[in-house]
Amino acid sequence: MATLTQLDTAPNPITHAKLLTELFSASTPDATAHAIIDRLHGLVAKRVPIGRETTSPSVDTAAGVELDPTRILRRFLRGQWGVLMANRFLELFQVYLDAGYVDLKDPDYLQYTRPPSELPTAAKERSGTPLQRAIMDGTIEVIELLLAAGANPLQVPVQDTYLDGETYPKGDVMQFVGYYHAEGSPIHGALLRSTLKASMLQSMASAQGTSGLMRHKSAPGPVSLRRRQSI
């Protein structure tokens, strides 16, 4: 694997992907990781895409680059970093969230490269939004960042999911969370609070929509209004 000093210094998608790959390598020392994170901050500030070299005939290979941000950024959802580096990794993930590199509503934030239609059933069941992936594999810190960024817990799971013979219905986030995390755990508590808040906001929005529709239907038209004024 190329080292930090060997990588192309130009701010291009391939460099961006290589830096992220090296960052998550278990063999990368902390000092190098700090330097990589500093460079990544600069790339994100310039909105440099994340790409990978490809010769796929389905991709415009004029530049030989396929933009593919999710493949590498998924690693943030697993919280795979040492204790001493945790704050820097979380700060970097926050930067990616703020810059819009992560689609919080993406229902197919998969760890697979093939489209969901081509996957076996067991693989399809591991699809889901970034929040769903983080619940399955992540840490409380990552989940809280996703929730603060606007991830909707009511979209978890994105489809009926079968785990160990049990069905976890689409959108029943707390039942889904309960499969992976014990009741009373920090993750369970964070999702419970966010789910209650999201449900309340959804109910309020629905009530306001219904009320507005009723007012619209009952409001007198211009002819009726003029008639009353003439009387």
Domain ranges of the chain: 1-100, 103-231
pLDDT of residue 8 exceeding 90, the answer is no
The pLDDT, as a whole number, for residue 113 is: 45
pTM of the shown model: 0.76
DSSP reduced 3-state for 11:
coil
Q: What's the CA gap between 94 and 24, in Å, rounded?
A: 16
- Quote the strand ranges of the chain, DSSP E: 51-53, 65-67, 161-163, 166-168
Residue 127's pLDDT band (cuts 50, 70, 90): confident
Q: What's the CA gap between 89 and 171, in Å, rounded?
A: 30
- 135-140 long-range CB contacts below 8 Å, 24 or more apart? 135/176, 135/177, 135/180, 135/181, 135/187, 135/191, 136/180, 137/77, 137/78, 137/79, 138/77, 138/78, 138/79, 139/79, 140/186, 140/187, 140/190
Report the chain's C-alpha Rg in angstroms: 23
For residue range 172-197, list pLDDT tens digits in order.
Answer: 999 999 999 999 999 999 999 999 99
Residue 137's pLDDT band (cuts 50, 70, 90): confident
The pLDDT, as a whole number, for residue 66 is: 64
> Average model confidence (pLDDT) for the chain?
80
The pLDDT, as a whole number, for residue 187 is: 95
Torsion of CA 129, 132, 138, 140, to 10 degrees: 110
Mean pLDDT, residues 52-79 taken together: 66
In this structure, of 101-115, 146-160, 180-194, the range with the lowest mean pLDDT score is 101-115
The pLDDT, as a whole number, for residue 197 is: 93
The pLDDT, as a whole number, for residue 228 is: 43
Q: What's the CA gap between 214 and 208, in Å, rounded?
A: 10
The closest alpha carbon to 177, from 165, 166, 189, 159, belongs to: 189
Q: What's the CA gap between 13 and 50, in Å, rounded?
A: 5
pLDDT of residue 36 exceeding 50, the answer is yes
DSSP reduced 3-state for 65:
strand
The pLDDT, as a whole number, for residue 52 is: 72
The closest alpha carbon to 53, from 116, 2, 89, 108, belongs to: 2
